[in-house]
Every structure is written in structure tokens, then in C-alpha cells.
Amino acid sequence: MRPAGNRNRDNGKWIFPGVLAVTVGAGIAAAASVTPLGIWIFLLVLGGWVITLCLHEFMHALIALYGGDVTVRYRGYLTLNPLKYTDVGMSLLVPVVLLAVGGIPLPGGAVLIDHGRLRSRAWQSLVSLGGPATNFLAGIILAYVGASLDSPLGYGLSYLALLQFVTAVLNLLPVPGLDGFGIISPYLSNRTQEAIRPFRPWAPLLLFVILISFPTASGTLWDIGDGLLRVFGGSEFNSDCGSSLFRFWTDNGLYQQLRGCTP
């Protein structure tokens, strides 16, 4: 019998490969235009979102490891196991649920980095930059592939590309709790850090309230994402179709726009 500690470390090791298998299967079904298309696009986009969320956090941990923080290895952050994150509910479940109901792709995941072990302030900034850079790179690849496929699979990948760009932009905002603030925080004075400290737990929540309360704010975020999609050769038509199919249960989703989105 294995020690309990080993069993605990193994908890959740099936999640990433399981999500990957479901996502690939949904992509194959979408490529073959298997009906109902909305279900497959929904699983493709949601599964792809979870995969990139794990890759986002993996890159934070990998850069931290090279920067001197060996504790990320012992904490299991290099395993792509989302159960290793500091708060599974807020890190994974809440962002996934919000995305599933058609909300903004909020940053998810959270890995604990021992900044005192990192070799320099530059490494601290690189650790924070690694996550959104991963989303940005994923967006570029998905945009290119999605635009080259005139099929429901291309629709789903194009919409997933848009979500990556929006997530990267959102993450790069210099708001405490987001990676953008993590990039600049090593260069802030101790006095500034102390002044900001009481507001850090509430800053992401305030940003979320602003985004859902003011359509102009969220609209600007989506506009920037659309702009990046175009810059990197993505297809807005494919992305719009992917968005409609993803929300197949809504009035303006599959039933009203499928005809125009069918190759």
C-alpha cells in the first residue's frame, strides 16, 4: 500500500489529460460537423480554456524555478494539475463558470511564488509576465489555425483565440492581484507597497464590478481583443460564429446564426 502522502500528491493528476482528451474529442466532432454543433463547440472552447489556464500557471512556475524558487517543484506547480493551485474554487471553478455563462474570461489559477528566492527584481517581473505571455502566444497560434479552417472547428478555435487575447490584456492591467501589477511591483518603493497593501485583496473584485457594471469598460476590452485577432491574421467572422455556437442555448446563439455560420 502506498503512503497517504503519495496518494495525496496524486490527487487530480488525471484532470489535465482528461480535459485534453475531451477537448480533442470535441474538436474532432466539430471538424466533422457532428450535430448538435453547439455542444461540441462549447466543450472545445471550455476545455481549451482550462488547458491554457493550466499552461498559464505552469509558465509562472517554470520561470520561477529557473529564477531560483525551487519550492514550485515541491508544491506540484509543474504537474499541470489544477488541484495544486492555492484556491481551486476561485482559481478554476469561478472563471470556468463565468466563461460558461458568457462572461468575461477572468484570470484564473494561482501559484504561490517565494519571491525571496528569486535572484533579482527582473526575475520577479518575468515570473508575472510569463502567464499573460502564454495566453498571448496561444492566441496567435489559435488565430492562425482558426482562420485557416472553414469549418465549425475553425469557429471554435477562433473564438478561443479571442478569449486568449482578452485574457492577456486583462491580466496585464496594473491592478493589484493581476500579473500586470506583479510586473511593476518589484520596482515600487516599500512605502508605496505598504500604502497599496490594504487594497490588494479588493482590487480584483473592484475591477470585476467595473467590468460588469459598465458596458463601455468591458466593450473596450473586447474591442482590443478583436483588434489583436485581426492583427495576427485571425477571422472575426469565424470568432463570431464560434461565440454564437458556444452560447447555443441563447436566443442569439445557434438557432439564429447557425445558418450564416455553416460553411
Which residues form the catalytic set?
57
| The C-alpha cell that represents 51 in the structure block | 488547458
In the three-class reduction of DSSP (H, G, I as helix; E, B as strand; rest coil), residue 151 is classed as: coil
- What's the residue count for the chain? 263
Comparing C-alpha atoms, which of 161, 164, 166, 167 is closest to residue 148? Answer: 161
Rounded Cα gap, residues 52 and 59, in angstroms:
10
Interhelix angle for 152-171 vs 236-246, to 10°? 90
**Would you put residue 182 in left (φ > 0), alpha (ψ -120 to 50) or beta?**
alpha
Query: Alpha-carbon distance 106 to 97, whole Å?
Result: 10
Residues 6+ apart with CB under 8 A from 178: 107, 170, 171, 172, 204, 207
- Tell me how far apart the alpha carbons of residues 6 and 43 are, in angstroms, rounded to a whole number: 32
- C-alpha cell of 33? 460537423
C-alpha cell at 252: 442569439
d(CA 37, CA 146): 16
